[in-house]
Structures are given as structure tokens and as C-alpha cells.
Amino acid sequence: MTPSEFHVRRATVDDLPVLRQLWQVEQFNFHELERRFTEFQVVASARGELLGALGLHIAAQQGLLHGEAYRQPEHEEALRPHLWERIQSVARNHGLHRLWTREKAPFWRRCGLQPAGDTDLAKLPASFGDRHGEWLTLQLRDAIVSEQSL
């Protein structure tokens, strides 16, 4: 699979039927996620077939990566870097300070996300969920510096 075979973009309402299928396979709460489908970035084939998706929920200048799902699991490793590139671009455009995830794939640690300590967890927005469990986080920029630049 080569990069020219697909493109990454924001999800549209036309993607909902396939997104629902992906979320059901992953046993996600697809009723909840379909109300938030605009949080999702999708990777599609050149023919327009949706191959995978990753959500980015934004709160308090922080982002939660969630709902990662792929049509064919054997292509996950090839598609993740392209979704990651898109997520980083969206995060920069929104001026996010930090990313969070509970996604388990080793890829996310290779991208620099690290296990969150108590100091990090104190910064976790309440809308992302409770502080218990295995959280990974990545500081993108210093909150004080970005506030001063505003």
C-alpha cells in the first residue's frame, strides 16, 4: 500500500454508514460516536473506500485521540502514520498544548506519547474520562508560552 493509494481527510456525513460498521466491530458505543463524527479523521482509498478512522476530541486546548478503527487490521501499521500526520496538523491549527490517549497500539509510544504521571493526570480535562487506567500523553507546547504569544 503506497501513500498515493489513499488520502486522509475529515469525516463527512457520507462516511457514517462505514464508520458505524467499524465502531461496531471494535465494540465502541457507536450511538455516542455518531453524534461526534466530525471529530474523526478518516483515511480513504483512491476509490473513496474508507479504510480507517481516528477521533480527536478537543477540550481546554488539549486533544483526546480515541475511536481508532480500521477496516482491515493488517493495514493498521501502514495507515496509522498518515492519520498521525493529519492529527498533528489539526492539533497545530487548534493550538493544542497536549494530546492524550488510551489507545493501546505500540505506535503511539513510538510517536512520543508516554505514560501519564500524577502531575500529568492533574491536567486531564474531565470530559476525557476518569483519571484511572492507562493514559498516554504528549506535551505539544508549553501552555504559558502559547498564552503569552496570544
Mean pLDDT of 10-28: 96
Whether 110 has a pLDDT exceeding 80, the answer reads: yes
Task: Tell me how far apart the alpha carbons of residues 82 and 116 are, in angstroms, rounded to a whole number.
Answer: 24
Whether 114 has a pLDDT exceeding 90, the answer reads: yes
Mean pLDDT of 2-22: 90
User: Model confidence at 144, in pLDDT bands (50, 70, 90)?
Assistant: low
pLDDT digits (tens, 9 = 90+) for 48-90: 999 999 999 999 999 999 999 999 999 999 999 999 999 999 9
Whether 141 has a pLDDT exceeding 90, the answer reads: no
| CA 69 distance to own-chain centroid | 10
pLDDT at 142: 80
Say which residues have a Cβ less than 8 Å from residue 22's Cβ, sequence separation at least 6. 50, 52, 53, 69, 70, 71
More confident residue, 88 or 132: 88
* DSSP sequence for 21-63: HHHHHTT--HHHHHHTGGGEEEEEETT--EEEEEEEEEETTEE
pLDDT at 63: 98
Task: Tell me how far apart the alpha carbons of residues 86 and 55 are, in angstroms, rounded to a whole number.
Answer: 11
